[in-house]
Amino acid sequence: MLSAKVKDLLNAQVNAEFYSAYLYLDFSNYYKDEGLDGYANWYYIQAQEERDHAMLFIQYLQQNGEPVVLEAIDKPDMNYGGFIDPLKEGAKHERHVTDLINTIYAAAHEEKDFRTMQFLDWFVKEQAEEEDNADNNVQKFELFGGDAKGLYMLDNELKARVYAAPSLVLD
C-alpha cells in the first residue's frame, strides 16, 4: 500500500509526463512549420516516450490498488525566437522532470517504500539519458546550427531517429 504522499506524487507525475508530451508535440509542430523535419521527428518521438512514461506511472498506481487521478493538462505557452529555443527549453524541462522524479524517490525512501524506489530506478536512469540527449542537442546546435549546411546535416541526423518503446515492463 502506498502512502498518501507517495500516491499523490505519483499521480502528479502522470500529469507531468502528459504535459511533457504536449510540450514536445508543441516543439515538433514548431519545427515542422519551420521546415526542419528532423527536429520535428526528434520531438515527436520524445512526445511518444513521455506518453509511455505517463502510462507506466498509471499502471504502477493501478497495480498497487490506487486510483489514478487525471488532471487537466496545461497548454504549452512558448514563444520561439529562434531554432535553438525549443532545444534549450527541452533541456531545462528535462532537468525539471529529474527533480520531480527525485522528489518522489526521496518520499518513497522516507516511507521505506522499496517497491516504489525499485520502480523509480528505471526513471532515474532514463532521466540521466534524457538530460544528456537534450544537452547534446543544444551543444550540437550551438556548434553547427548557425551555418545552413550544418543545420541541414543536424536536421538529417535527427530525422533518422526511430521510436523505441520503453524497456520497463510492469506485470
What pLDDT was estimated at residue 101?
98
The more confident residue out of 93 and 171 is 93
Structural domain spans, the chain: 4-159
- Among residues of the chain, what percentage have pLDDT more than 90? 94
Name residues whose C-beta falls within 8 Å of residue 114's C-beta, 6 or more positions apart in sequence. 108
Q: What are the tens digits of pLDDT across the range 74-122?
A: 999 999 999 999 999 999 999 999 999 999 999 999 999 999 999 999 9
Q: Examine the pLDDT at 169 and tell me if it is beyond 90.
A: no
Residues 90/137, Cβ–Cβ less than 8 Å:
yes
Span 4-159: which CATH code? Answer: 1.20.1260.10
Q: What are the tens digits of pLDDT across the range 7-61?
A: 999 999 999 999 999 999 999 999 999 999 999 999 999 999 999 999 999 999 9
Q: Examine the pLDDT at 4 and tell me if it is beyond 90.
A: yes
What's the CA gap between 43 and 85, in Å, rounded? 13
Q: Collapsing DSSP states into helix, strand and coil, what is residue 112?
A: coil
What's the CA gap between 91 and 71, in Å, rounded? 24
